[in-house]
Every structure is written in structure tokens, then in C-alpha cells.
Chain A
Amino acid sequence: MLSETLFGTDEMMTSLMQKRKAGGVVWKVVFLFSTSLAILFLLLLLVSVIDSTFGYVAVRNEMEPSQLVAGKDAVSEFSRAELETVLQEHLSSGILRRVLHDKPLQERSKTDLVSLAQQYVVKPSVVRSWGLGDSLLDQKSIEAFMAGNEGLHLTFRSWINWSFFTSDQSANPLNAGVRTAFLGSLWIIMITFVFAFPIGVGAAIYLEEYAVDNKLNRLLQLNIFNLSAVPSIIYGLLGLAVFVRSMEHITSGAFLSSVSDTTANGRTILSGGLTLALLVLPIIIINTQEALKAVPDSLRMSSYGVGATKWQTIASHVLPASIDRILTGTILALSRALGETAPLVVIGASTFISVDPSSIFSKFTTLPIQIYQWSARPQGAYRNVAGAAIITLMLLLMAMNSFAIIMRDKISKKKRMES
């Protein structure tokens, strides 16, 4: 009776509860839907990359293998003698001279001769390419296209293959590779590490272990946080003005007379590495601070207790205890730098560079920049190559991250065993 006047009738109560529960269910559906959307986006991303990396390719040969040796449709079917004759007769004098200079034909392997003939005599070029999805599901339109065009060959191609890793840039997407870009990326990350790691870890040690909680240090802390959220293109502008222009004398290597005609300006690996070092520095500082915070104070206290100085404590107790997290975080920061494009475009990565970097004063191109340039090209075949380059980049990132995690586990296991 009392419940009726205060809270309404039983029916009202039940219906109200049902409404509230129903509302809960609706929202739960919304949450699940959002979560599945997030997963879906990741899958779509991966699928679109994989889609462009494998598929059918319609190729036109400048010279058909059957024109070279009657009755044989593919260069791989030629006999060794036939290959040597073909190469002698059809390679231009300049190329033949170079080929013979590198290694006489008799000493080369058959696969080598096949690829030479393929690249310089047959000279295939892409007329049209299809993605994996189309290749598997839309066979009809592919067949229609082949029927409608004379003299084309259809092959299924994986755009990511060993020669993709070992070749350098080329005007023909069939021959293009990421070797130069890959090496450029590695060189730059090395420079980034050399500069950002000591300064970053040092600054973090100061902020965590030495700094008193006064205004200056709180300002430093806030400053570092803000720097970590600055858009990466701003670092590019800073790098352009400071490293490429103002410090041109140093970054172009002109101060070392041994590297005279390499580059004439500061758009070098050194500049790129320094710029990225500035970019990852705040990240490394913040991460190292977290790692140092995680070391229990009791460890420090016991070290002071036996009379160690501050630095001795840090060097022999705090750092070893936190080195695993510090290194992991650093490697993750470096993998972030690996994927950066905008700052390096602003600094001036090269459009066409055909030789691997040989010193920190070389001009450079990197994997992300290569992806950017290939993605911007409208010919379909470049989409495929860009997709292959993206997979290469992702593999490299995965390798770095796995390395970081494995190393962290190894060191913490060692710590546990020692303690």
C-alpha cells in the first residue's frame, strides 16, 4: 500500500524497470557496434593494402620471346646457349659492355641470364593491373580486357618479392624497388637514436632524480608535454630553417673536405636524423620518466644507506632496474620516427635517387616518402608498388616492436633471476 503511493503501482514499476533495462541494452549494442567498427577499420586498412599488393597484371612485351627463339614463349624456356646468343645480339652496345665488364656471360648463372634478357631485351611494361579482390572475384572483366587487347600477357604477380627489396627506383613499376629508401630510413633512424637517446635519457634522469619541485622544473615538465603534442610538420619547418639552412656548412659535410662533391646543400641524412631526433626527444623523455618512476624508492634508499652518492645510486641501481622499459620505449619512439613523412618532405628528401646512401652527408629518401610519391602517381601499377612498400614498412615496424618486446622480456627475466 505504501509502495503504491510513494513509487506508483506495480505495473508502473515494472514498465519503468523494463524501459531502463531496454535503454541499457540499446546502449550496449551501440558500444559493441562502435567497437566492431573500430576493428572493421583496421581490417579494411589491411585488406586494401593487401589487395593492391597481389593481383593479375597485363603486360606488353617490347619484344616477344617467340620472336627471339622460335617456338618458345618464355625466356625461362631458353637454353643457355640461346640466352647467350640473344643477349649478344640484342643488348645495346653500351649495356652489353657494362654487363660483360661486371661478369662475362659464361660465368653468369642461368637465372641471371634469364633476368637480364627479360629486363633488357623483352622489356615488359604494365598495361593494366588488378587488385587481389578483382583477380579472385572478377575474372570475367579481366578476360574481357585481355580479349579486347592484342598482344598482352596475363600473369599473377606478387608485387612484394625479393627483387622488390633489392632493386632501387626505376621508371618502370615492374622493376621498381625500395632498397634505397629502406637504407635511407635505417640511416636516419640511426642518427636519430644517437642524438635523441643520450639527451632524452639524461634529461629524464635530471627531471626525475635531481629536480626539486620548483617553478622552473614544473615549467620544464609542461614544456616537454607540449612539445610531444606539436604537429610533426612544425619540426620539419624547424629542421629546414636550422639544419638545412643555418647549419648548412656542417650538415652538408662541407666542413670535412673529404666529402666535396657529394651534396651541395644541407638536405642530408644528418639533417633528417637531427630533425627527427628533436621530434622523438619529448617522447623519450616522458617514457624514461615513467620508467624511472616505476623503480621503487626502497631501492634508492637502500643504496644511500650503504653510502652511495646520488649518481652512483642512479648508475648502479636505478638505471639497471629501469633499462628494459627505457629501451622498449625508445625503440617504440624510433618506430614512430620511422613512419614520419611530413618533416622529411619539408626538409627535402630527393625525388630521384639511384644510389644507396654512403655517409651521413648523402642525400636521402625514406620508405614513407617513397610510399607518398608512389601513391601520388595516377598509373594503376604504382598503387601496387605503393602497397608493396607499405607492407615492407609495416613489416619493419613489426620487427622493431617485436625486438623491443623480446628484449624487454629478456632483461626483466635477467633482473628477476639476479634479484
Chain B
Amino acid sequence: MDGNEPENEMAGGEAEKDAAPSFSVPAPSTPSLASLGGGQNPPNGEDRRQAVESGAAAKPRPISRRKLLEAIGAVGIGVGLGFRVLEDPSAASPARQRAAAPRSTKDPLPQWTMIFDLRYCDGCKACTAACQSAHYLPKDTEWIKVYTLTSADGGTYHLPKPCMMCEDPPCQAVCPVGATFRTDEGMVLIDQNVCIGCRTCMAACPYESRYLNTSPMPEVPRQPFPTSPEWPVPQVVDTVGKCIWCAARLPSGMLPECATSCQMGVIYIGDLTTDVAVNGQGNVITISEFLRDNDAVRLKEELGTNPRVYYIPGHGQDLSGWA
């Protein structure tokens, strides 16, 4: 009976505030309900008030039929359509939601990539600070780490290094419990509810991109989103964490924390499918042309990990195969 009512009330709505609604109500056992339902009483305001007042429980404030119908109608709409949100368990995970509803049913999934234009990096480490602050990391956990290195001509240059999001990630292959996984968009993420803290992934990563969380962990205020591999805040103690390219932001087109904080516009985030990349300063490039024109390289190419991070050297430094 209750199931029928909302549908009918949706159709009827407020226009029928005085007409006899068609929901089925048993023969009114009390004069009060009879005035709200059935078509058995005259829709007379005076009579209705009298009937209500003469009801079994004489309450001071009457409730009108209109109000009830409105409430039921709103509930019906809300419940009926709200299930579309509530029943989707991946509502909490932006990456999975994105995968479930791509821009167009014909388009392939985005394949994220990052480009570092080292011509402009001055080693200020704003990226490191912003990342640590956004994810509430301890001081010595630098998910994006800026190295200061000597180039062939004796000068120094700076190299920020996030997680490489390898296409053949050694960390994923060696994790004994499969806590590290790679999504179809190319993001390598960690489920810290599974991680046993064996640090084999730290042994495997040739880029030293992974960090174990040990106590004391920084105090983390209550987060607006539940903890997930795409938004791993707060980090779980005694498990391994790493840069995740702010995976929770990418599906809605927001840039990772490091990219937005870089004042020099060094850090580009892009999509290999659409061939478009932007940096935090509003520059937009076509990835394939940008990489080709600027002789981009990847780190430790010879290891066969196929990283998704490209570097534009620009100072003549040799980025291939050092250390």
C-alpha cells in the first residue's frame, strides 16, 4: 500500500490538494483520518477542523492533508531517485565513478601522464611542501622529492620526482597480497587496508618512490571524503604510501597539489588519450608535440618499467641511467 502512494502522489501533487486522492485507504476508523482520505467526507475546511478536533487524541495543532501529501511526494521523489546515488557503492571513489561514466561511451579511458619541464625548476620545493600539507604527511616522507644534482658541466639542476606510475610496475608484481594495483587509467594505487607492511615494494621500486608510515603520524582533521586509495588521507600507520597523482582530483579535471603549487609551471598533468596537458600556470600543450620538440626522456628507461613521467632536460644534463 505504501508503495503505491508515492507514485500516485507524484502524478497528483499539489494540484490535487482538495480532490479525492486515489490511494486506497481502508474504511476510516477514526473521524480524523477520514477527513484526510477516502472520498467519504466533504472537503469542507470547517468540517475538517471539527472532525480533527473531535478526534481521539485532541492535539492543539492540526496537520493538513496538503502538508502530508507534500511530504510524501518529496520523500517519494527523493527516495526513488536518491537510490540512484545511494545504491552505487563506488560513489565514494571518484576514479571508479569516472570509469563508470566516461565523457563519451565511445572514448577510451584517459591515460594520465606527467611532464616535468626542468628548464624552469628552481628547486624551491613548494611542490613537496604542498603535497605534505595536503596529505598530512610526516616531515621526512616526501612523496614528490626534489633532488639537487650536478650536471655534466658542473652546474646544479633540480629534479622533482613523483611516483612514476609505471606501465609495468615492479611494485605491483612483487606485492605478496596485491595491495598495490594498477587501474585502467594507468594509476598505480595502494589499498592500505590490505598492505601488510613488508616493504617488498620499497625494495622493488627503482625510483625510491615509496615510503613506510611509522608513528608518530601527524594529526589529521576529519576529512570530507572517506579514505580510499585515490584519497589516502589519513595514511594508515605501518603501511606503505606513495604519491598517487592526487587521483581523486583527476576525474573532475582538477590538477594535483604539486602542479597547482608550482609557481614556475614545471609540472604538467596530461592525458595521453586526448593528447592534452596543462600546468598550474595555465599553459596548455599538445603532449606528443611538446615531448618531441623538447627531447623529453624518462628516468631509468633501460629498466623496462615504462614510466608515465617525462622530463624535459633543457640544461644538457644526462638523465638516462644515472645511479
A and B are partners in one complex rather than unrelated chains: no
